[in-house]
Amino acid sequence: MAAKKVLIVYAHQSSASFNSAAKDAAKEVLAAQGCTVEVSDLYAMKFKATATAEDITGDVKNAAHFRYAEETKLAWEEGKLCADITEEQRKLTEADLIIFQFPMYWFTVPAIMKGWMDRVLTLGYAYSEERRYSQGILKDKKAMLSFTTGSHESMFSADGVNGDMNVTLWPLQNGILHYCGFQVLAPQIFWAPSRLPSEARGTLLEGWRTRLQGVLSEKPLSFTPLDCFDGEKGFQLKPEFQEKNASKEYGLTVGIHLGKALPLNSQMKAGV
């Protein structure tokens, strides 16, 4: 495998945590394959989670009606974003693969990681109205979620109390990662490690190590290409694609389901 650069965006407060062990395993295995691995340890960095006017050095264009996306786009163009954002964008620009390592909080990422996404993935740098989804700015990069849950896998099933994990992952994987153009790899989910004995946790980590041996060559998850939608008609699915899928049992994706049954595991496994 040709040498690659990997960025691990990591969010856990404890170096004794399972998430820390998963992060260390990724760093070790990928480095052994010749990858350059950089880690953004958000809690250790005391990364600012809130998107505010302080993210811009100097004056803003419209202080009376501050609009974060527009103001940070101008700041990015003019080199006026604050230092911590600029540094994270440097890491992201250089990376071929980005791994987000975190414990799932309230069905999503921890606030400090959401803050990283809010502040680093700025308009103009990570996406634009013209360049998003399958035509996104970051389409040459791969990204994946690697996370722990507090609940067992059965609770995140289609008939479980937490609901289908595929639905839970759609806003993160489609609405953030795929929106910016990333090729989204299937998530690495560690189901309720805190409820398992140490031997079982070790088995989970070994499975992760095995996967990491070939992670850069994995096929990404499937999303409906942007050119299947009519931009002149509110980005609705074009009639020919509506007709093509009219007789099929399942919808296209979790979000674009066409009123049909959701495709099985489309947010958790490639090629389904």
Find the CATH number of the domain harbouring 86: 3.40.50.360
pLDDT, tens only, 40-50: 999 999 999 99
Structure confidence at residue 270 (pLDDT): 86
Structure confidence at residue 271 (pLDDT): 66
The answer to whether residue 224 is domain-embedded is no
The answer to whether residue 245 is domain-embedded is no
pLDDT, tens only, 81-97: 999 999 999 999 999 99
pTM, 2 dp: 0.96
The answer to whether residue 233 is domain-embedded is no
257 contacts 174 by C-beta, under 8 angstroms = no
The answer to whether residue 173 is domain-embedded is yes
The answer to whether residue 268 is domain-embedded is no
Strand blocks (E) in the chain: 5-10, 36-41, 97-103, 142-148, 183-184, 188-190, 229-230, 236-237
Structure confidence at residue 195 (pLDDT): 94
Which residue ranges in the chain fall short of pLDDT 70?
Answer: 1-2, 271-272
Number of domains in the chain: 1
Burial of 214 (0-12, 13-18, 19+ CB in 10 A): exposed
Residue 76 lies in domain: 5-218
The answer to whether residue 151 is domain-embedded is yes
